Amino acid sequence: MDSIYIYGGNFLRGETKIQGSKNAVLPILAASLLVRGTCVIKNCPRIADVYLMQNLLQELGCFVSWAGNTVTVNAFHVNDRRISGESVTRMRSSVMLLGAALGRLGEATMAYPGGCVIGRRPIDIHLSALRKMGVEIEEQEQLFTAKAKRLHGAEIRLPFPSVGATENVVLAAVTADGTTVLENAAKEPEIEALCGFLTAAGAEIEGTGKNCIKIKGVERLHDAKYEVPADRIVAGTYLTAALAAGGSIFLEGAPAGQMGALLAAAEKMGACVTAGVEGIGVDVIRKLKALPYLKTEVHPGFPTDLQSPLMAALSIAQGQSVIEESIFENRFRIVDDLKKMGADIEVVKNKAYINGVEKLEGAGVEAEELRGGAALVVAGLAAEGKSVVRNRHFIERGYENICKDLRNLGADINIM
Ligand code: UD1
């Protein structure tokens, strides 16, 4: 029922258009809470995590409507300060609502956010940064309450450039009193998208994409329209599918400028990549080479979200690859399933040693989280025979229509 069926072993050929970015749209939807008016957000992917964020906004009193892939949020009347319920525990990015609710209401009570099972994922960096802006936090067992009599600008240095903490500080700072200077900020492209949306709504932000962001608080934000950029992780997943299965594909709208680390890895493996403003073309005509060493890093380094999909491709590359995971400690959960398909992988602490095998064989496997689940689909496309990836709901948290997209690329793949 909740499965994806794949008949693998065929080359991929064709083109597909890349959906809007999940990690960009979630903080943008949270940001719409700061606008006493209407925000129109185009190119919004219809994925489970977006629907969870929609539920949370509606619980707070916002009106949310869809037309195709355009979402309109009206946050004129916000009547609740409690951000709780199942949606919060199911999705880590619900924590984005904290900065936005503090900016709008000066107070929020929230359940501790959940999300993928890829590591501890605490929110200590978020909370200590917000404390510097005048926020008092009272922690209870399941919930915490954050209150600010007066939310004010501050000089903050993050101990680690956390994506979520950077977004929360920006959200809290745009309508705070005074200026916030955020050092050691994350530089992920999704932060530029959030700042692009907030600037369209009247915020004053300098230095996005750099490690020091300066935010001058404004009195209020106004109505805004914004188009969500293409999803670099979805594009990267399909690119790894071509690396694994071989063939010749074009990813329309893929944001090549944000994908340098993956494109460099693909070229090192022997793929031919053409990247331009229209998208990315990939040709894989011979067996690819292993990558002697690859480490996941903050942007512009190799993204942790593409580590598992690339591992699936490396499992049939020639030679030994070593991947070091430096962002999330629990991101090798797919190894047992890849082994079930014939892969030869050994994990020692945060390093995976992948000895490329001749081929993978189809098997029944189980998605346990979003990107790992997508990686099993990549493996299934390369494997000979039938694979069944169960728990597709994890994959649907981030991929609008993975089966249709991959069918556009010639894959034999369906949901059941
Ligand atoms: C975001 C992305 C996720 C991506 C990750 C890293 C969204 C919705 N999710 O997640 O897809 O994999 O960036 O690029 O955009 N940490 C702490 N304390 C904190 C915050 C983070 O210890 O308060 C740790 C985390 O446990 C993790 C590391 O810092 O080990 C990176 O986390 P962070 O950059 O915050 O990632 P997310 O915003 O959760």
Per-residue pLDDT, averaged over 129-137, amounts to 97
**Beta bridge pairs of residue 347:** 352
Q: How far is the CA of 304 from the centre of ligand 1 (A)?
A: 10
- Model confidence over 176-189: pLDDT tens digits? 999 999 999 999 99
Q: How far is the CA of 302 from the centre of ligand 1 (A)?
A: 14
Q: What is the DSSP letter of 231?
A: -
Q: Dmax over Cα atoms in the chain, in whole Å? A: 63
State residue 112's pLDDT score.
Answer: 82
- Model confidence over 49-88: pLDDT tens digits? 999 999 999 999 999 999 999 999 999 999 877 887 777 8
Q: How far is the CA of 121 from the centre of ligand 1 (A)?
A: 7
Kindly report the protein residue whose alpha carbon is nearest to atom 5 of ligand 1: 163
CB of 291 within 6 A of ligand 1: the answer is no
Concerning whether 116 is annotated as a catalytic residue, the answer is: yes
- Model confidence over 245-302: pLDDT tens digits? 999 999 999 999 999 999 999 999 999 999 999 999 999 988 899 999 999 999 999 9
Measuring CA to CA, which residue among 109, 114, 112, 159 is closest to residue 135? 109
CB of 164 within 6 A of ligand 1: the answer is yes
- Model confidence over 364-390: pLDDT tens digits? 999 999 999 999 999 999 999 999 999
- Residue 107's alpha-carbon distances to 114, 134, 296, 323, in angstroms, are 21, 11, 36, 42
Q: Which amino acid is at 180?
A: T
Pair type for strands 204-206 and 224-227: unpaired
- Model confidence over 17-44: pLDDT tens digits? 999 999 999 999 999 999 999 999 999 9
Q: How far is the CA of 125 from the centre of ligand 1 (A)?
A: 10
Pocket test for ligand 1, best of 182, 232, 327, 395 (most atoms within 8 A of CB): 327
pLDDT > 60? residue 120: no
Domains of the chain: 3-18+230-415 (3.65.10.10), 22-219 (3.65.10.10)
